[in-house]
Amino acid sequence: MKTGFAYPTALFLLTLGPMLCSFGTAEAGFKIKTSVERFHNPPDWKEPFDPGALVEKVLKKTIGREQNFRVVSELDQMPPKSEPAPTAREKTANGTQTGGKENGKAMAPMQSKPSAQMWIQGKVLTFNPNSAGMSSESNGKGGRVPEIAVVEVELQIHNARTQKTVAEKRFRVSSKEGKSPFDPSHADFDDPAFRRTSLNAALELFGGDAVSFINSATDGLPFLADIIFVDGKKEEVIVNVGANDGVEFRDQFPIYSLRLNYTDPASHVDLGEFYTQLGAVKIKEVRDNYSRAEIIAGADIREGALAVAQRSKAEAKPWWDYHGILALTNDYPVMLEEYQNGGPPEP
């Protein structure tokens, strides 16, 4: 089974989801793997604390509370410890694995590219713990003058598969809700003294605004995962998503290959990405960060292919929905036609 179609990136991602509504049987949803990179500090930054690290940390903390995303790190991109690393023969020239066996043994599943579906990065433009420039101790009348913290950040969301920008936005927030003055030696979210500052409050505001934007910008994105291993008989695969990503036993995924920068041969215009359907797989064993699946359709599924699904799994239908039955009573199945005509006959 092979079908091919070409779409610009945004259009494909927004339209693929509805096509996949039949692949999912649980009420829960999948979580998009998200990598938050270190943000660049403001130009010529010379202060003893690191604004980029603070912005990165508040984003990881805020995104991590969302049900739609899972923040991943380098540790999530490693193969299971029980699996040996691939030999040089098991790798192709571009660093990805080939299928087959080495000395009669199945090769180890090994992920050779980042596991994140999207990554977030950017730069800090303004980072001022006290833009008022006044002492926070006293206003000369016996009252405390609160610090006014100002934070301005440029944020970008990137598609890790296509290396293209999904969305970007500039944020500017301020706060004077701090109860204590900012001390550079306590510039850490884990420090109680920092959590009482206006700067901490401003960063929390930024985190909330940023996550709202990320949710909105990625609302139409399907759930993607990588096929990282195919057995020699092409009966079973390993997918680099597991229970931590919302995957469950018997979930099914259509599998696609992805060709980047599909070009119109006549106009030489980049038409976006070209996706070719290769088959489908069904999950048979779920681990925390990866799953084993059986191939249920297609003979051309290979390592590096994409498993794709709608973000929200479709709720399982009761069996009577497939037989024209509207509901079940204690004594009688109410058929749709009877309901429309006033219900079942009197006993």
**Considering the domain boundaries, does residue 104 fall inside one?**
no
**Considering the domain boundaries, does residue 166 fall inside one?**
yes
CATH number of domain containing 212? 3.40.50.10610
The reported pLDDT for the residue numbered 36 is 95
- pLDDT per residue over 178-218, tens digit each? 999 999 999 998 899 999 999 999 999 999 999 999 999 99
Q: Do residues 330 and 216 both lie within one domain?
A: no
Mean per-residue pLDDT, 117-130: 95
Domain end (from 199, 221, 243): 221
CA–CA dist 76, 326 (Å, integer): 46
Q: Do residues 57 and 192 both lie within one domain?
A: yes
Q: Range of 67's domain?
A: 30-72+115-221
- HSE, CB side, 13 Å, CA atoms: give it for residue 303: 22
Structural contact between residues 110 and 79, judged by C-beta atoms closer than 8 angstroms: yes
CA–CA dist 76, 29 (Å, integer): 20
- Give the DSSP H or E segment for 34: strand 32-36
Between 250 and 274, the higher pLDDT residue: 250
Structural domains counted in the chain = 2
CA–CA dist 211, 307 (Å, integer): 26
The reported pLDDT for the residue numbered 18 is 39
* Close Cβ partners of 66 (under 8 Å, ≥ 6 residues apart): 211, 215
Residue 320 has pLDDT above 50, yes or no: no
User: Environment class of residue 96 by beta-carbon count within 10 Å: exposed (0-12), middle (13-18) or buried (19+)?
Assistant: middle
pTM, entire model: 0.70
Structural contact between residues 134 and 140, judged by C-beta atoms closer than 8 angstroms: no
Domain end (from 221, 239, 272): 221
Q: Do residues 55 and 202 both lie within one domain?
A: yes
**Considering the domain boundaries, does residue 275 fall inside one?**
no
Domain end (from 180, 205, 221): 221
**Considering the domain boundaries, does residue 3 fall inside one?**
no
% the chain with pLDDT above 70: 66
For 182-200, the three-class secondary structure string (H helix, E strand, C coil) is: CCHHHCCCCCHHHHCCHHH
Between 307 and 75, the higher pLDDT residue: 307
- pLDDT per residue over 249-262, tens digit each? 999 999 999 888 77
**Considering the domain boundaries, does residue 86 fall inside one?**
no
Q: Do residues 216 and 322 both lie within one domain?
A: no
The reported pLDDT for the residue numbered 25 is 37
Q: Provide the residue type at 185 as one letter.
A: S
Mean per-residue pLDDT, 306-331: 58
Residue 152 has pLDDT above 50, yes or no: yes
Between 211 and 146, the higher pLDDT residue: 211
**Considering the domain boundaries, does residue 243 fall inside one?**
no
